[in-house]
Chain A
Amino acid sequence: MEHEHLLYDGVTGLPTLQAAVESMRRVIVERGELLILYFNFSRYSKIEEIYGWEKLDAVLATTAAAVRAYLHDSPLRSSRVMVRYANDDDFVFFHIPEPGFEAAGDEQITEIISGLQKHVSERIEVAHGEDIASLFDIYAGRSHVMVNPKFRLERQIYRGVRQAVLASQSVEARETVKKLEDLRESIRTRGVYVDYHPIVVAETGEVFGYEALARGVMRSMRSPEVMFEVAARGDLLWELSRICRSRAIEGMQDRFDNGELLFLNVDPGDFADPTFSPEQLDAPDPTRVVIEITERTAIKDYPKFRNRLQAFRDAGFRFAVDDAGSGYAGLGSIANLEPDFIKLDISLINCIDENFIKQNLVETMIGFANDQGAQVIAEGVERAEEMAILKELGVHLVQGFFLHPAGVPSHTPEHLPIQVPPGPSTHGPKLGPDTRAIKSA
């Protein structure tokens, strides 16, 4: 059939909604009812923003396989079909009860969603690491369609899908409010700890410094991306950033024995915080602190921003441009910041051994850095093949899963409680029905 591929999603191998409705039409009419589950996997677009499209494709493929495997073993295994819906990050599942059986009840569905979240999260963690696994949430909504021959079947199904989408959105809204409460609590109790990710010299493997990654003590705040996203929504960025910065510097004093540098993430917006100053940072030795500024956030007032940077530079702090090469801006905007370090965007590193254009861009960046007297850091190195190419290209410093695999304890200050307290969790089932409430666990 011409354009047959449009009926199936290339990454996940799942049919589109139209293709599924067409092939299931007869069975749905025969059974007379249909249960629609809508799953929204939130923040998948964040994965693409941070790691690039290849990574999101891989995560989507893992997700689809995990969802399929889980549902295959669930009580919904009979007469079911899963489809990709309109976006990258959502799936629709049709459950058509077998003759003589009732459609799955609320309690059963809640249990299935809970198990699904856990299973998908585990599969993603094994395949792609903890940071990616902790980034996403699943919001599920359901609707129950009783087929009425007076109406066109397609319309009834599309309406059912829309109801399930709305139900999942109301669950998401509830969860967002809960997360904001968790963040306020985290700020009030300074419930933030720091993971230190080693940055090593590419040639020797010697530890050169550590990047501080702040995480919330509460499970719902474990992912830094989620925590800062909630803070931005609640207008609490400055408050959260202050705590993260001071935690990172406290830990440095406790843990860094051999003159390693501390790489500290600072959002350009933090420079507008009147309390953010070299004095407030209170670093015992500012020359050992590198302030990382991401290229992703637009800097609105360049001259003013440069003045603020200069005050830090005069006090001895150094600078790194983070996520360099993530946008289309090129090298000009990087040169403007006169960085001491250039951290390459992860999307340029991911599968660099297989892509000669990425190799060319990284080579260009290294040449540029050498001219500017800066050092290039390759972030997100996950495989030996990537490491080998990066060394060949002359990258100065490297960071990533390959050097810091899961299981190696991070440097967590001992006086901080990192046990996860019981309470609000992003990993419980989050299911929303179309018309009535099903309790979240």
Chain B
Amino acid sequence: MTKTALPHVLVVDDNHDNANIIRDYLEARGYPITVAYGGEEALEIFERDRPSIVLLDVMMPGRDGWEVCREMKQNPDAARPVRVIMVTALHDWTNKRQAIQTGADDFVEKPFELSRLADTVERNARMLTPVR
């Protein structure tokens, strides 16, 4: 995958340190990144920029990750598909079921290694390329 072909990623986490670490790591790998530090801000950026991949922390004050994911997936745009990756400890069946219900496509369990996070982003980036 060439640098220019990499999809725009929106990183959403109310913990500034976490968000910035993820941003730096993915930016170094060539992804165009935008960061939001809360649910409301994430939805505004989403409407404006229509990123292709959203890395979404679940536990946030105000509008949590589930709510944000539901809103992002509610109005699908076939021309600009979005992949939502929940960043959370989805240990049990119920949580994962809930994630599917809200429309999430993938998840990264906390705590995670950055390389694992990058693999997850990469496999979702591959899903954006129409193969069918």
Contacts and interface: CB of A to CB of B under 8 A. Distances in A.
Interface stretch (B9-17, B56-64, B96-104): B96-104
Interface residues of A, number: 22
Contact of A355 (B76, B105, B132): B105
Interface stretch (A93-101, A175-183, A269-277, A324-332): A324-332
Nearest to A360: B96
Given A354-B105, A356-B105, A357-B99, A10 B94 contact: no
A289 to B, nearest CB: 30
9 contacts: A10-B76, A330-B92, A355-B100, A356-B124, A357-B104, A357-B105, A360-B96, A360-B107, A361-B100
Contacts of B124: 356
A11 B96 contact: no
A361 B75 contact: no
Q: How large is the interface on B (under 10, 10 to 19, 20 to 34, 35 or more residues)?
A: 20 to 34
Interface string B47-72: 00000000000000000000000000
A354 B127 contact: yes
B10 to A, nearest CB: 18
Contacts of B104: 357
Contact of A357 (B74, B107, B123): B107
The 6 closest A-B pairs by CB, nearest first: A10-B75, A330-B93, A356-B106, A328-B94, A357-B99, A357-B100
B76 A357 contact: no
Interface in A295-328: 325, 327-328
A354 B82 CA distance: 12
A26 interface: no
Interface of B: 74-76, 90, 92-94, 96-101, 104-107, 120, 123-124, 127, 132
A218 to B, nearest CB: 37
B101 A11 contact: no
A361 B99 CA distance: 11
Nearest to B127: A354
A213 B116 CA distance: 45
Contact of A5 (B75, B96, B98, B100): B75
A356 B107 contact: yes
Given A10-B75, A358-B100, A361-B100, 18 more contacts: A10-B74, A11-B76, A325-B93, A325-B97, A328-B94, A328-B97, A329-B93, A330-B92, A330-B93, A348-B100, A356-B106, A356-B124, A357-B96, A357-B100, A357-B107, A360-B107, A361-B93, A385-B132
A330 B99 CA distance: 14
